[in-house]
């Protein structure tokens, strides 16, 4: 069965202003790395915008309305020190969340084995009531809630290997035992959450803080010894992945030392786990990753493994 | 300050860098560091390949008291080639390395600068002053954040 890629030109039109690391060129780098004959079998789809009911399963309605009202008709507007919106940001944010939901629909229906959502803005810092850290809506959380409400899934795991802790996703999962959140991240680092003592309302959160400078060996050890066994015990019906590529050794925003191959290794292991536990159902969505060349290569490494499934 | 995040070593380094050959004497190195106010200097072979890094600290270290002599012989030591005193396999950067990474390495290691290497060849040097200069250039005008 095939893999599918969800993306849209509006994700590049979300303009964060001159010099901002979370820029449209990131998506261009990802898409150009996924050109060429080896990626020809990848089905490409344009997503539709998420519905307000889908968003409001995660975010409070007032926040959704206020965010969409804050989108400027021209120029840029700063929501906090890091988070910038422009005229196309509302549409981009809605389609980013929509993409992950539609990828879940396709994977659960068995149309495709797995899917990657090449979207902007990223989502994992967005909390139920606040946009922050380059993130507007929490795309992966919206998709997890959608998997439960639309498809009746009882157990959904979210694996987050972005170098920053996904505080928004953790907040969403904390008191919801149907969801498990597992994150590896550099610590200390933005946003400051993700201590290993933060374990969720029903032991359904697993945080693996990594010291600055941690490389391939430490990452592989942490995933093999802790992450994969925890996912096995949870017996998910769907694996969602917050795929940030900023733990790469070239990334300018952090200090971990992962390589292109590490993302291939992670992709391969997650695909194996999905095969064994949930008929291969796996949906990954782009979070961070700010070194353009490293981002493109790392996404390609992961995609290659997903396409072997 | 977003602009700084996108800056690479290539945007900040001195290029071509001042370097010395493997056979340069310690006396010549000492004079060169003094003349330019450098903390250190890369050492290259005849093809421009990086062999090591020599700093004022390494020159000083050559005068460590050892069992070889009661008092370190100044002229003999200063006439010896730098290749005997340099640090081999120094930590290097590439032109593509983000400056944020360079800054972090300087803080972690206490280095004042790094040789910049591309395919084994020395192409530049990036120092604390270079990083500070680019930080300044990327700052927004006035007292904005």
- Whether the Cβ atoms of residue A162 and residue A208 lie closer than 8 Å to each other: no
CA of B67 vs chain A CAs: smallest distance (Å): 40
Q: Is B63 within a domain?
A: yes
Question: How confident is the model over B72-87, as a mean pLDDT?
Answer: 95
Question: Using one digit for the tens of pLDDT, what is the confidence trace for A182-203?
Answer: 999 999 999 999 999 999 999 9
Active site residue A124: no
Residue A167's pLDDT is 97
Residue B2's pLDDT is 85
Please provide the DSSP assignment of A118-177 as one string.
--SS--TT-BTTB-BTTBSS-HHHHHHHHHHHHH--S-EEEEE-SSS--HHHHHHHHT-T
Q: Which of A20, A213, A252 to mutate to test the interface with B (most CBs of B within 10 A)?
A: A252
- Whether the Cβ atoms of residue A43 and residue A5 lie closer than 8 Å to each other: yes
Q: Which of B1, B2, B135 to mutate to test the interface with A (most CBs of A within 10 A)?
A: B2
Q: Is B50 within a domain?
A: yes
Low-confidence ranges of chain A (pLDDT < 50): none
Q: Is B27 within a domain?
A: yes
Residue A239's pLDDT is 98
Q: Is the pTM of this model over 0.95?
A: no
Q: Tell me, yes or no, if A150 comes closer than 8 A to chain B by beta carbon.
A: no
Q: Which two tokens stand for residue A62?
A: 């007032």
ipTM above 0.85, yes or no: no
Partner residue facing A253 (CB), from B5, B97, B138? B5
- Choosing from A125, A164, A165, A291, which is the catalytic residue? A125
Question: Using one digit for the tens of pLDDT, what is the confidence trace for A13-28?
Answer: 999 998 899 999 999 9
Q: Is B9 within a domain?
A: yes
Write the CATH number for B119: 3.10.580.10
Residue B143's pLDDT is 58
What total of structural domains would you count in chain B?
Answer: 1
Q: How confident is the model at residue B145 (pLDDT cuts 50, 70, 90)?
A: very low
Residue A251's pLDDT is 96
Enumerate domains of chain A plus CATH numbers: 3-308 (3.40.800.20)
Residue A127's pLDDT is 97
Q: Is B145 within a domain?
A: no
**Which residues constitute the domain of residue B50?**
2-138
Which helix (H) or strand (E) is A78 found in, with range?
strand A77-78
Q: In B, which residues are within 8 Å of A17 by CB distance?
A: 2
Q: Is B103 within a domain?
A: yes
CA of B126 vs chain A CAs: smallest distance (Å): 16
Question: How confident is the model over B17-23, as a mean pLDDT?
Answer: 97
Those residues whose C-beta lies under 8 Å from the C-beta of residue B120, and which sit 6 or more positions away, are: B49, B50
Percent of chain B with pLDDT over 70: 98
Residue A119's pLDDT is 98
Q: How confident is the model at residue B144 (pLDDT cuts 50, 70, 90)?
A: low
- pLDDT exceeds cutoff 50 at B67: yes
Q: Is B143 within a domain?
A: no
CA of A45 vs chain B CAs: smallest distance (Å): 31
Question: Using one digit for the tens of pLDDT, what is the confidence trace for A28-68?
Answer: 999 999 999 999 999 999 999 999 999 999 999 999 999 99
Across the interface, whether the CB atoms of B5 and A21 are under 8 A apart is answered: yes
Across the interface, whether the CB atoms of B6 and A17 are under 8 A apart is answered: no
Q: Is B117 within a domain?
A: yes
């Amino acid at each position: 069965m095939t893999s599918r890629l969800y993306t849209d030109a509006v994700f590049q039109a979300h303009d964060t202003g001159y010099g901002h690391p979370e820029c449209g060129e990131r998506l261009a780098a990802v898409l150009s790395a996924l050109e060429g004959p080896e990626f020809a079998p990848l089905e490409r789809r344009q997503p539709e915008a998420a519905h307000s009911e889908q968003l409001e399963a995660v975010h409070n309605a007032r926040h959704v309305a206020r965010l969409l009202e804050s989108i400027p008709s021209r120029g840029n507007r700063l929501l906090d020190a890091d988070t910038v919106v422009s005229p196309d940001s509302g549409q981009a944010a809605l389609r980013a969340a929509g993409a992950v939901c539609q990828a879940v629909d396709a994977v659960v229906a068995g149309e495709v084995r797995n899917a990657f959502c090449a979207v902007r803005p990223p989502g994992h810092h967005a909390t139920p009531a606040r946009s922050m850290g380059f993130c507007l809506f929490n795309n992966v959380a919206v998709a997890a809630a959608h998997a439960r409400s639309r498809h009746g899934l009882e157990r959904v795991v979210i694996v987050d290997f972005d170098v920053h802790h996904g505080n928004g996703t953790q907040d969403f999962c904390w008191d919801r035992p149907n969801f498990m959140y597992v994150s590896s991240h550099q610590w200390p680092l933005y946003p400051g959450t993700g201590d290993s003592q933060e374990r969720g309302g029903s032991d359904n959160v697993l945080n693996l803080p990594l010291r600055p400078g941690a490389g391939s060996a430490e990452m592989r050890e942490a995933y093999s010894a802790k992450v994969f066994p925890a996912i096995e015990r949870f017996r998910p019906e769907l694996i969602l992945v917050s795929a940030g590529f900023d733990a790469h050794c070239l990334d300018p925003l952090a200090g971990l030392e992962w390589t292109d191959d590490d993302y291939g290794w992670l992709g391969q292991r997650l695909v194996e786990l999905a095969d064994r536990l949930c008929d291969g159902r796996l949906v990954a969505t782009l979070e961070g990753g700010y070194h353009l060349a490293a981002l493109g290569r790392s996404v390609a490494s992961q995609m290659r493994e997903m396409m072997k499934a | 300050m977003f602009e700084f995040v996108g800056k690479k070593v290539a945007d900040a380094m001195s290029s071509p860098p001042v370097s010395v050959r493997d056979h340069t004497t310690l006396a010549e190195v000492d004079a060169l560091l003094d003349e330019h106010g450098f903390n250190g200097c890369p050492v290259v072979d005849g093809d421009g390949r990086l062999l090591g890094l020599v700093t004022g600290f390494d020159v000083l270290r050559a005068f460590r008291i050892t069992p070889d002599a009661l008092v370190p012989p100044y002229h003999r030591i200063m006439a010896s080639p730098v290749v005997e005193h340099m640090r081999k396999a120094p930590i290097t950067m590439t032109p593509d390395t983000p400056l944020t990474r360079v800054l972090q390495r300087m803080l972690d290691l206490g280095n004042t600068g790094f040789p910049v290497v591309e395919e084994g060849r020395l192409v530049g040097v990036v120092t604390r002053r270079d990083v500070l200069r680019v930080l300044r250039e990327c700052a927004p005008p006035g007292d904005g954040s």
